[in-house]
Amino acid sequence: MSNKVDDRLAQLTHAAEASLVHWNLEGSKLDLIKYRENAVYKLTTADGERYALRIHRPGYHEYAALLSELQWMSALSEFGVATPDVIKNINDELMTNIVIPETGEEVFVDLFGWVDGEPIGSVEEGVAMTPEQSYEIYHTIGEIAAQLHNQSSTWTLPEGFKRHAWDQEGLVGEMPFWGRFWELELLTPEQKSKIEEARAKAIEVLQSIEKTDQNYGLIHADFVPENLMKEGNKVRPIDFDDAGFGWYMFELATALYFIQKEAHFEDAKAALIKGYRSKRDLPDSELALLDLFLALRSFTYLGWIRSRQETQTAKELAEYLIERAMSQVKQFLAWADNYQAP
């Protein structure tokens, strides 16, 4: 890591240590797990209890949105969807705010019960499992997604609930949630042209899709391999930081996006759909839109690179994400040539 990244991590670690007093956990050991959007630490107390402590990226979400994330996680848990337990601080609050002394930035910190197991894979390394394991895992992921959407489509939002939207404006509007992806400086002129063509076609298709309780609502929006923890036969989603309002097919597209080059992809895809349909209706007309939502997912990752070019992770993943996106765009444009609006 560069010195700049090391300095930033040192600042965040100091903030994490300073927050421990708010849970009466002073002196606990902190080990960095992940530093991407947020800094996530494994916290181990003197008597061996484990937790996950998260420091949110400054400026990414405001307090109301972060609180809403935690409220939804708790509601999902009550509904029967296993999510990490949110640990309240000594003031009975779901979050603590800390000021980073070196920069004066205010950051929000939350604490979760530890989730045993390990991620099913990673964006960089893929998913290493047998076809049988893949089928079983993705059938379970399909069931979880369906149950999550069942809760979403029937839940009455608490007063003041606020989350961003992965809707037409948030995905392909003039100011998408993760930025103007078609202006990514790392794209060649030819790539930009193709991206702009695909964006225009995506807008056209989205305008033909009606939003209903059956196809649109709260989604996790980040079912990537790192965020799906496997322990034995159990799978549990973690990291609801990107959760917001969106099309349910965007959820399934995200779950499939980074495994498309895996040898077992078709089996995993079939299992995901079957698992979903075992818990919730998924009409063929919705499933037929998968190529659209895979392309939309690819756009978001280009925007993610553009808005985070200073980060080491974005630098490391840029080439791969651009290559992946251009392949997705080609596939989408071929699909769009035959698309007929309902």
Write the pLDDT tens digit of every residue in 63-101: 999 999 999 999 999 999 999 999 999 999 999 999 998
pLDDT digits (tens, 9 = 90+) for 279-291: 999 999 999 999 9
What pLDDT does 5 receive?
74
Cα angle: 35, vertex 13, 104; to 5 degrees: 100
What pLDDT does 308 receive?
81
Kindly list the distances between the CA atom of residue 24 and the CA atoms of 86, 164, 335, in Å, as whole numbers in the listed order. Answer: 16, 33, 56
Q: Is 276 helix (H, G, I), strand (E, B) or coil?
A: helix
Statement: residue 310 has pLDDT above 80: no
- Residue 80: phi and psi, rounded to 5, are 110, 5
Statement: residue 144 has pLDDT above 60: yes
Contact 299, 325 (CB under 8 A): yes
pLDDT above 90 covers a percentage of the chain that reads: 83
| Whole-structure pTM value | 0.92
Q: What are the tokens at 279?
A: 């818990």
Lowest mean pLDDT among 6-10, 86-90, 152-156: 6-10
Residue 147's H or E segment, with its range, is helix 131-154
Q: What is the DSSP letter of 187?
A: S
Residue 124's pLDDT band, with cuts at 50, 70 and 90, is confident
- Higher pLDDT: 6 or 223? It is 223
Residues with Cβ within 8 Å of 67's Cβ and at least 6 positions away in sequence, in order, are: 94, 95
Q: Which residues of 157-173 are buried (b: 16+ CB within 10 A; e: fewer)?
A: eeeebbbbebbbebbbe
What pLDDT does 1 receive?
46
Cα–Cα distance for residue pair 90/88, rounded to 1 Å:
7
What pLDDT does 35 receive?
87
pLDDT above 70 covers a percentage of the chain that reads: 99
The arithmetic mean of pLDDT across residues 198-202, rounded, is 98
Statement: residue 2 has pLDDT above 60: no
Contact 135, 190 (CB under 8 A): no
Maximum mean pLDDT: which of 121-130, 212-221, 312-321: 212-221
What's at 176, amino acid-wise?
P
| Pairing status of strand 39-44 against strand 50-55 | antiparallel
Cα angle: 193, vertex 194, 200; to 5 degrees: 90
The arithmetic mean of pLDDT across residues 126-136, rounded, is 88
Q: Which domains does the chain have, with CATH numbers?
A: 3-114 (3.30.200.20), 119-336 (3.90.1200.10)
